[in-house]
Amino acid sequence: MSLEDDRGDFGGTAQVTYTGGDPEGGKGVFGLRVSVGGKAVATLVGGARRVMPGRAATLRLVSEDKFVKGPYKYEFRNG
């Protein structure tokens, strides 16, 4: 997976699966925090809506943080 978008910022995709029980589906905003050497260098965000129970959605994660090379440590959050 590439974390650099065509503007030189961090960007990427993530796949999430709705495990809730609402028959109308689930929704959420997700964040991915990227760190290098213990320092946060980017926060990427994306959202999903109406993901049916047991189904997956692919999210586009966007950021305005300029890309820097890793190695990376990731922290994925819902909300």
Average pLDDT of adjacent 10-residue blocks, the chain of 79 residues: 78 93 93 96 95 95 94 91
Considering the domain boundaries, does residue 1 fall inside one?
A: no
Spatial strand order in the sheet of 56-66: 9-17, 56-66, 39-51, 26-36, 73-78
pTM attached to this predicted model: 0.83
**Cα–Cα distance measured from residue 41 to residue 33, given in angstroms and rounded to the nearest whole number:** 8
pLDDT on residue 7? 82
Q: Which domain holds residue 16?
A: 9-78
Confirm whether 24 is domain-assigned: yes
The number of distinct structural domains making up the chain is 1
Phi/psi of residue 25, each to 5°? Answer: 100, 175
Q: How does 40-52 read in b/e, with b if 16+ C-beta sit within 10 Å? A: ebbbbebebeebe
